[in-house]
Amino acid sequence: MIDVIYVEREAWDYPRTREIVARFDGARVIDCERHGELFNRAAQNFRLQKQRPALMLAVKHGRKVLPVPSGYGLEDAPGYYFSHMLNCVYDCRYCFLQGMYRSANYVVFVNDQDFIDEIRRHAAMRDAPVWFFSGYDCDSLALEPVTGFVDGLLPTFADLENARLELRTKSTQTRALHRRDPLDNVVVAFSFTTVPAGEALEHKVPDIARRIDAMAALQARGWRVGVRFDPVIYHEGFEDAFASLCERIFAKIDGAALHSACIGAFRLPRDFFKRMRRLYPRERLFASHLSDADGMVGYPRELERALLDGARRRVSEYVAEDAIHCMDGGA
Ligand code: SF4
């Protein structure tokens, strides 16, 4: 899976680096000063790299925990996000990471404890609830067997009463959660699109049935789970396909016990969109139904409203209204 591993010299000081390198026995290991010099280099081809990404082990400097962008999050409580990894092992055509980064290589930050310390500091600054979102610049769990990040993070949330954690994922790598007692302040949020959208646009993603089974197993074990329909992708026959997706999910998931269901529009900054269209000029998603307004590309307002309202109505057949959140934008 990984042929080349770049290691920042400083990253060798962290035990996680040696553990990860040892997992990829045959990989070529190349030392580097700073991952950014390679990761941000101009004239890289994201699409080509995506076929055989290298792994970069790095130390995250500066702020590790950042306020969530507007439109992201669950409720009025302040929210922060963090990314222990950049890029994703999956390959969704609508993913904004393709527009954001020049490189498809995976960056894994090995200074886990610095992330944890910063989360603790932010939680300690408030008495009221505060959310921390993982899975903004990556999938929260897809590479967990390699990074072990979530496994090390969970005990922190066991003793932070006001902190809430969302692990957003399309992965079925849930072993770290099954190994521990469920925590009431942690939500594992699984993302779904309809079958036609998934087949056309989500490559390498575990199929819907496996994701539902993983979610059901966590719910049965006592973990709080959520569903994310974000972004909602329009296609012919969307309404029926969305109805059947909900039917499949809530045949196995107890909607009444669901933590939350979030529904988000497909919307991207114009520059990201342009870069993504250059990567996949023949992709139908980028060729139809979209409009460009105020620097953002998405569905025209009326279509977006109709999609979100229709999805909300359908989800509300299974989930209490106050657990449903409709959001503009997202990935
Ligand atoms: S949309 Fe999510 S699962 Fe898909 S490639 Fe992007 S980060 Fe990964």
CA-nearest residue for atom 6, ligand 1, is 95
Task: Give the integer Cα–Cα distance in Å for 123 and 13.
Answer: 28
Percent of residues, the chain, with pLDDT higher than 70: 98
Instruction: Establish how many alpha carbons lie within 13 A of residue 11's alpha carbon, considering only the half-sphere containing its beta carbon.
Output: 29
**Confidence band, pLDDT 50/70/90 cuts, at residue 31:** very high
Residue 201: what pLDDT? 96
- For the beta carbon of residue 28, count every other beta carbon within 10 angstroms: 11
Ligand 1 atom nearest to CA at 88: 8
d(CA 297, CA 292): 4
SS3 (DSSP) at 75: coil
Q: Which atom of ligand 1 is nearest to the CA of 137?
A: 7
What is the pLDDT at residue 216?
98
pLDDT for the residue numbered 288: 80
Angle of CA points 18, 61, 143, to nearest 5°: 45
The CA 95 to ligand 1 mean position distance, Å, reads 5
CA 318 to chain centre: 24
Q: Which amino acid is at 324?
A: I
Domain count, the chain: 1
pLDDT band (50, 70, 90) for residue 317:
very high
Which of 97, 201, 262, 268 has most ligand 1 atoms within 8 Å of CB, for mutation? 97
How far apart, in whole angstroms, are the C-alpha atoms of residue 36 and residue 23? 24
Residue 237 phi/psi, 5-degree rounding, is 80, 20
- The CATH number linked to 155 is 3.80.30.30
Angle between the N-to-C axes of helices 301-315 and 238-252, in degrees from 0 to 180, rounded to the nearest 10: 30
Mean pLDDT of 274-280: 93
- Top-confidence residue, 136 or 243: 243
Q: How far is the CA of 232 from the centre of ligand 1 (A)?
A: 14
Residues 259/74, Cβ–Cβ less than 8 Å: no
pLDDT of residue 251: 98
Residue 117's Cα: distance from chain center in Å? 22
Say how many Å lie between the CA of residue 175 and the centre of ligand 1.
20
Which mutation among 95, 96, 205 tests ligand 1's pocket best, with the greatest number of atoms within 8 A of CB?
Answer: 95
Does residue 43 surpass a pLDDT of 80? yes
Give the model's pLDDT for residue 1: 79
Tell me how far the alpha carbon of residue 327 lies from the centroid of ligand 1, in angstroms. 18
Q: pLDDT (tens digit, 9 = 90+) per residue, 57-90?
A: 999 999 999 999 877 777 667 799 999 999 999 9
The boundaries of the domain holding residue 94 are 4-327
Average pLDDT for 323-327 = 91
91 C-alpha to ligand 1 centroid (Å): 6
8 Å CB contact between 197 and 229: no
Q: Alpha-carbon distance 131 to 133, whole Å?
A: 6
- Model-level pTM greater than 0.75? yes
Q: How far is the CA of 47 from the centre of ligand 1 (A)?
A: 14
- Ligand 1, atom 2, lies closest to the CA of 139
Query: What is the per-residue pLDDT for 289?
Result: 86
Q: Which of 285, 321, 323 is nearest to 94 (CA)?
A: 285
In the structure, which protein residues have their CB atom closer than 6 angstroms to any atom of ligand 1?
A: 88, 90-92, 95, 97, 138-139, 170, 331
DSSP H helical ranges for 40-188: 46-51, 97-100, 112-124, 144-147, 149-158, 175-178
Q: How far is the CA of 119 from the centre of ligand 1 (A)?
A: 23
Exposure of 73 in the CB half-sphere (CA atoms within 13 A): 19
Mean pLDDT taken over the chain = 94
Q: Give the confidence band of 330 by pLDDT, cuts at 50, 70, 90.
A: very low
